[in-house]
Amino acid sequence: MNSPQRDITLRFLAEPQDVNFGGKVHGGAVMKWIDLAAYACAAGWSGRYCVTAYAGGIRFVAPIHVGSLVEVEAKVIYTGKSSMHIALEVNACDPKSLNRRLTTHCIVIMVAVDQNGQSERIPQWVPESDADLKQHASAVKLMDMRKQIGEEMQIFVE
C-alpha cells in the first residue's frame, strides 16, 4: 500500500459565474472550493470516502477577481480515530504575473465513513518537524475552543 498523501493543492481559474453583485468572487464559491480541497486531502490521507463534520475560522483576507488563478492548499494537521483536521489556505494571482496573495484561510474537519455512514478508522498522522508540532498543537487548542463555542451555541438550538 502507498503511504497516505498528507497535502494537496487544487488549481483553477475563477470564472464569471463565481462573481457576486460587487464584481468579486463570492464567499460561497470560495467555501465550495475549500470543501472540495478538504475532501481530496482527507480522502488521500485516509483512503476512504469522507464527509465534512466542521468548517470554521473562515477568514476572508482579500477578494478574488474573475480570471485569477486560484490555489487551494489543504494539509492534514491532526488526526483522531476517524477524523482529520485539515488546514486550508486559498491564494490567488493574475495568471500572467504569478504574484500570489493570501485571500482566505480556515480549518475543516473531515470524517472517514463507510457505505452506511458509520465512521471508519484512519491512519494516524504523527508530527515530525517543528512546523508540524506547532500546527498539531494549534489543532488541539482549537478543539478546546470549538467545544466551548459549541456549548455557547446551544442556546440557539434549544
Q: Give the number of other Cβ atoms within 10 Å of residue 15's Cβ.
A: 12
Amino acid at 149: I
Residue with cell 464527509: 51
Query: E strands within the chain?
Result: 7-13, 49-60, 69-79, 83-93, 101-113
Q: What is the pLDDT of residues 90-143, one digit of tens each?
A: 999 999 988 999 999 999 999 999 999 999 999 999 999 999 999 999 999 988
* 132, containing H or E segment: helix 130-153
Confidence at 2, pLDDT banded by 50, 70, 90: low
Q: Which fold has domain 7-125?
A: Thiol Ester Dehydrase; Chain A (3.10.129)
For the cut 80, the answer to whether the pLDDT of residue 3 exceeds it is no
CA distances to 25, 98, 132 from 42, in Å:
25, 28, 17
Give me the pLDDT at residue 54, please: 94
Q: What is the pLDDT of residues 59-86, one digit of tens each?
A: 999 999 999 999 999 999 999 999 999 9
Give me the pLDDT at residue 1, please: 52
Domain boundaries, the chain: 7-125
